[in-house]
Structure 1
Amino acid sequence: MSDTAPLWEFADISKGYPGVLANDKVCIKLMTGSIHGLLGENGCGKSTMIKTLSGVQQPDSGKIFHKGDEVRISGPLAARDMGIATVFQEFSIVPTLSVGENIFLGNIPRSRFGVIDWQKINSESARVLKEMDVDIHPEAITGDLSVGEQQLVEIAKAIAMDASMIILDEPTAALGEDEIEQLHQLLRNMRSRGTAILYVSHRLDEVERIVDEVTILRGGQVVSAAGETKINVSEIVNAMVGGDVGEHYPKENNAINEVVLRATGLKTKSGVAEATFDLKRGEVLGLGGVLGSGRTQIARALFGVDALTGGSIELNGAPVRFKNEMAAIRAGIALVPENRKTDGLFFNFKASGNITAASLGEISRRGFLDLAAEAAGTARLMEELEISPQAEAKTVNFLSGGNQQKIVIARWLFSDAQILILDEPTQGIDIGAKIAVYKLMNALTRAGKSIVLISSDHDELLAMSDRVAIVHHGAIRQVVDAKELSHDDLVRASVSHNTHEYKGQVAL
């Protein structure tokens, strides 16, 4: 890290909205050749600060300096011209365009005759992707890629413009362990070439591994400037929440030896090859594997989204075959999807409309919704799950990620689901909201409900699961007691064809 003057300095930046001061005299210095973490719980002011840094909005007060000179970032195009690239948590790709077109979106190269230079688009895109060590073809349609691959395309856009400062907002939210390490190595290479990187993430174990210094926000203010907090998870959490949060993974062991679901030889056209496992009452069964291993496809098969082409499912000892999602819901199975924004929520509804969406028959009288019954059921769950009261005053798109996630889970509690499939349930939410989700998982299993947990956070998967099923190319290779696995064991097992390369193996 350089000891010279800051490449960018944001001094006493304030930004307010009606009724709230989102940023209150925030100061950040970004050095050439440094990875700087911007951390804090949801609602602390990180997103507002990112929008100011990237030119999306103007601060109400404060000054911005570039290489010591005061400047004004008048908009996103001005930010790009100044060498600032931002990779937002919400993708800005166009799914119908090719990878190369997306990488150069807004900066399409043209020939001297004004015609789009397709050869340059594809050759330059191939160069950037090769530099990233990413096996994606420039002419592939972006919408056909996985969520993780789309995230890598977003990052490629920033690299292609040769930015001197890159802002990464939750860059690994959709990536598996291999992809995360691949990205981190890329960031280290960029740092060594002098790029300033602002890294925003709720995954504090990653922050500990990759950043050089951190600025921590709470309530819109800087509570810990660069150099004031040691870069380890405990110190960072204490600064973020203003005290010790105690146990990060408050796991309860509530499983009993009663099988509620048995899957035998499941196969689907979407990639499930040979999935055999059972789920016990009160158990959390983790599905472990790298991005693209087939974990989500197994969840979709269980929930009736993808039709079975082979194998069978037994529920409480009786064979079942779900033609669609509604059949699975009626049988007491629920799915909290990986992408709550596109697959889990109605963003133009308030909490009540989202919570009751899967069980409208329960609150209908003679074909009409009983709004009083809906309000009563919703209020009870909102209180139990500690969902913000604002969730009934505004539509869910204005709520924090943690509140949004709890609303999706509340929907299935309202439907009285007995088996919940949680696909990346803590992705993109802060430490306080994560612990709330973990405690909710305990409450569910304590009540005799069972959980299938999919998580790319290996620490979370091992800590909150009773057993872990290792998924590789759509097949479950082994089911192992979570206490028998270490982080390294899980990584090796999920990428290897040899299922005996780790300890504690339990042959199926």
Structure 2
Amino acid sequence: MSDKTPLWEFGDISKAYPGVLANDKVCIKLMKGSIHGLLGENGCGKSTMIKTLSGVQQPDSGKIFHNGKEVQIPGPLWARDLGIATVFQEFSIVPTLSVGENIFLGNMPRSRFGVVDWQKINSESARVLKEMDVGIQPEAITGNLSVGEQQLVEIAKAIAMDASMIILDEPTAALGEDEIEQLHQLLRGMRDRGAAILYVSHRLDEVERIVDEVTILRGGRVVSAAGETEINVSEIVSAMVGGDVGEHYPKDDNATNEVVLRANCLSTKSGVKDVTFELRRGEVLGLGGVLGSGRTEIARALFGVDRLTDGSIEIDGRPVRFRNEMEAIRAGMALVPENRKTDGLFFNFRASGNITAASLAEITKSGLLDLAAEENGTERLMQELEISAQAESKTVNFLSGGNQQKIVIARWLFSDSRILIFDEPTQGIDIGAKIAVYKLMNALTKAGKSIVLISSDHDELLAMSDRVAIVQHGAVNKVVAAKELSHDDLVRASADQFQQASKEHLVA
């Protein structure tokens, strides 16, 4: 194989579903020792292409070449044998198994007597995790890990098999800035050792930092092949949407001085420690911090998911104490959770059933659900949020990530919530859907509603917040005007947290 021969080449790959041509003669060349970005808005055909490359489904037409020789990938096991490892956006881990068992799932090493070699599983898993600089033990039960740690286990599975091609689908969706940089360093090392990496992400700022070349899809077709688009956010966005989308972070200043929520010395068993801050009417208050800093735990405490062991909450100057989420909802609060897949949606319901789930009393007559009232009550919201018309007839599992996220938000608009907690609201959605969420945030604050924003995307957090509360070890370290903070300030705060954690570990 010459240096100019692609390690992997996918020529004229086409795949159709009833009424939809998902991939239309897609061509991608992956060179040895290169990180190749596969980009495009939701529905452009990326997921279909990933499934084809990983053997999950077969193309209707087209050819696949490995080292210049045509190959077939009739299933995931064949893909693995050919050296293809895929880290899907949807986790494929088994939560009841250990980290080591998950890393070698489907490929368990065995002793000469034919039994599973547990010692090798744990030692090899420890080696991979050490190479990744991840403090996870091979014996740990995977289901007990955080979402971000589970994502790292998924990536460890790919590294353990020493793949020649690694497909990463939204690999950093659940990771903080330090974990992202850690992963990027790891990927650069794998690239330098000759691996071909196909990198799929909606976080275009990190794409700009990590990829060597990009292929951009729109409507199932390649609209920009490798080398045709300069690798910067503006050029990529223009190619993705077919024109300039304008300002990426369209922030309006709607904050007032009126305090609508006051958290006083909040503590919980889940790690919230003496948290105090104020939220003002029309304000977006960002919670900044690394993965595991306690941001989500603060959100759970505010929303009544985790009981307070100390402290108090005031809304409009009146003390409240939530024993559960329903009491928080009745007080006008809302939570858009970090993981819409497990905590935010009923996947066997259509959009209307999901939107009204928190306010069933509004569509109930004589103890029975009024389905006509449900449809009428949600139709306006679906139009205002530009939710796909498919959501009226199909269950939400058939919708794009952006539409799913807007349905979760619509639920709280239907309940007329006044204080909304957005935990990673743009995670895993494309640039167009992100801008729609940002504009919705502006509309909400203009209407006098208030937002607590949790985001691991530092640019998003700084651009869309009025003030930012720095969270470290479950406590709010300080609250600063967003315009007075920089990306470096947030990174430095994260570094300070890790340094403090290291000192505490040494003392212990």
Q: TM-score range by the shorter chain?
A: over 0.9
In 2, distance between residues paired with 1:37 and 1:493? 30
Q: Within 5 Å, which residues of 2 pair with 1:172-251? A: 172-251=172-251
In 2, distance between residues paired with 1:3 and 1:412? 55
| Residue-pair matches, total | 498
Task: Kindly indicate whether the alpha-carbon contact (under 8 Å) linking 1:289 and 1:495 is maintained by their aligned counterparts in 2.
Answer: no
Task: Kindly indicate whether the alpha-carbon contact (under 8 Å) linking 1:41 and 1:431 is maintained by their aligned counterparts in 2.
Answer: yes
Structure 1 residues 77 and 497 mapped into 2: Cα distance closer, same or farther (>3 Å)?
A: closer
Partner of 1:438: 438
Partner of 1:81: 81
Partner of 1:334: 334
- Tell me the secondary structure at the aligned position of residue 245 of structure 2: coil
Partner of 1:62: 62
Residue by residue over 1:368-415, the C-alpha shift from the partner in whole angstroms, topping out at 9 and shown as x without a partner, is 112221111110110111111110110000000010000000000000
In 2, distance between residues paired with 1:152 and 1:22? 30
In 1, distance between residues paired with 2:387 and 2:365? 27
Task: Kindly indicate whether the alpha-carbon contact (under 8 Å) linking 2:40 and 2:46 is maintained by their aligned counterparts in 1.
Answer: yes
Partner of 1:426: 426
In 1, distance between residues paired with 2:117 and 2:144? 24
In 1, distance between residues paired with 2:271 and 2:254? 32
Whether 1:24 aligns to 2:18 is no
CA apart distance, 1:494: 3.5
Partner of 2:505: none
In 2, distance between residues paired with 1:154 and 1:164? 17
In 1, distance between residues paired with 2:456 and 2:188? 22
Whether 1:8 aligns to 2:8 is yes
CA apart distance, 1:181: 0.2
Task: Kindly indicate whether the alpha-carbon contact (under 8 Å) linking 1:37 and 1:199 is maintained by their aligned counterparts in 2.
Answer: yes
* Fraction of identical pairs, as percent: 86
In 1, distance between residues paired with 2:3 and 2:440? 46
Q: Within 5 Å, which residues of 2 pair with 1:12-161? A: 12-161=12-161
In 2, distance between residues paired with 1:142 and 1:424? 22
Structure 1 residues 86 and 498 mapped into 2: Cα distance closer, same or farther (>3 Å)?
A: closer
Task: Kindly indicate whether the alpha-carbon contact (under 8 Å) linking 1:346 and 1:354 is maintained by their aligned counterparts in 2.
Answer: yes
Unaligned runs of 5+ in 2: 500-508
- Tell me the secondary structure at the aligned position of residue 265 of structure 2: strand
Task: Kindly indicate whether the alpha-carbon contact (under 8 Å) linking 2:10 and 2:27 is maintained by their aligned counterparts in 1.
Answer: yes
- Tell me the secondary structure at the aligned position of residue 416 of structure 2: coil
In 2, distance between residues paired with 1:497 and 1:78? 44
Amino acid at match of 2:336: V
Amino acid at match of 1:115: V
In 1, distance between residues paired with 2:491 and 2:262? 26
Task: Kindly indicate whether the alpha-carbon contact (under 8 Å) linking 2:249 and 2:435 is maintained by their aligned counterparts in 1.
Answer: yes
Residue by residue over 1:314-337, the C-alpha shift from the partner in whole angstroms, topping out at 9 and shown as x without a partner, is 000000000000000000000000
Residue by residue over 1:68-118, the C-alpha shift from the partner in whole angstroms, topping out at 9 and shown as x without a partner, is 111111110000000000000000000000000000000001111111101
Partner of 2:415: 415
Unaligned runs of 5+ in 1: 500-508
- Tell me the secondary structure at the aligned position of residue 97 of structure 2: coil
In 1, distance between residues paired with 2:170 and 2:27? 21
Q: Within 5 Å, which residues of 2 pair with 1:449-488? A: 449-488=449-488
- Tell me the secondary structure at the aligned position of residue 426 of structure 2: coil
Residue by residue over 1:459-490, the C-alpha shift from the partner in whole angstroms, topping out at 9 and shown as x without a partner, is 00000000000000000010000000000011
In 2, distance between residues paired with 1:433 and 1:370? 31
The normalised TM-score by structure 2 is 0.97
Residue by residue over 1:40-59, the C-alpha shift from the partner in whole angstroms, topping out at 9 and shown as x without a partner, is 00000000000000000110
CA apart distance, 1:495: 3.5
Structure 1 residues 498 and 404 mapped into 2: Cα distance closer, same or farther (>3 Å)?
A: closer
In 1, distance between residues paired with 2:378 and 2:98? 43
CA apart distance, 1:250: 0.3
Task: Kindly indicate whether the alpha-carbon contact (under 8 Å) linking 2:178 and 2:494 is maintained by their aligned counterparts in 1.
Answer: no
Partner of 2:502: none
The normalised TM-score by structure 1 is 0.97
Residue by residue over 1:168-188, the C-alpha shift from the partner in whole angstroms, topping out at 9 and shown as x without a partner, is 000000000000000000000
CA apart distance, 1:4: 2.3
Structural RMSD (CA): 1.1
Amino acid at match of 1:297: E
Partner of 2:504: none
Whether 1:307 aligns to 2:290 is no
In 2, distance between residues paired with 1:196 and 1:482? 39
Task: Kindly indicate whether the alpha-carbon contact (under 8 Å) linking 2:473 and 2:497 is maintained by their aligned counterparts in 1.
Answer: no
Amino acid at match of 2:123: S
Amino acid at match of 1:219: G
In 2, distance between residues paired with 1:123 and 1:493? 34
Amino acid at match of 1:7: L
Task: Kindly indicate whether the alpha-carbon contact (under 8 Å) linking 2:168 and 2:199 is maintained by their aligned counterparts in 1.
Answer: yes
Task: Kindly indicate whether the alpha-carbon contact (under 8 Å) linking 1:471 and 1:494 is maintained by their aligned counterparts in 2.
Answer: no
CA apart distance, 1:274: 1.8
- Tell me the secondary structure at the aligned position of residue 156 of structure 2: helix
- Tell me the secondary structure at the aligned position of residue 496 of structure 1: helix
Partner of 1:401: 401
Task: Kindly indicate whether the alpha-carbon contact (under 8 Å) linking 2:41 and 2:241 is maintained by their aligned counterparts in 1.
Answer: yes
Partner of 2:167: 167
Task: Kindly indicate whether the alpha-carbon contact (under 8 Å) linking 2:87 and 2:154 is maintained by their aligned counterparts in 1.
Answer: yes
In 2, distance between residues paired with 1:382 and 1:47? 25
In 2, distance between residues paired with 1:358 and 1:64? 48
Amino acid at match of 1:68: G
- Tell me the secondary structure at the aligned position of residue 186 of structure 1: helix
Task: Kindly indicate whether the alpha-carbon contact (under 8 Å) linking 2:466 and 2:482 is maintained by their aligned counterparts in 1.
Answer: yes
In 1, distance between residues paired with 2:371 and 2:139? 51
In 2, distance between residues paired with 1:483 and 1:66? 50
Task: Kindly indicate whether the alpha-carbon contact (under 8 Å) linking 1:472 and 1:495 is maintained by their aligned counterparts in 2.
Answer: no
Residue by residue over 1:138-170, the C-alpha shift from the partner in whole angstroms, topping out at 9 and shown as x without a partner, is 000000111000000000000100101100000
Whether 1:268 aligns to 2:268 is yes
Instruction: Return structure 1 stretches of 4+ with deviation > 6 angstroms.
Output: none
Amino acid at match of 1:434: K
In 1, distance between residues paired with 2:82 and 2:392? 42
Amino acid at match of 1:360: L
Q: Within 5 Å, which residues of 2 pair with 1:479-498? A: 479-496=479-496
Q: Which range moved further: 257-266 or 485-494?
A: 485-494
Partner of 2:283: 283
Amino acid at match of 2:66: H
In 2, distance between residues paired with 1:438 and 1:31? 37
Amino acid at match of 1:261: L
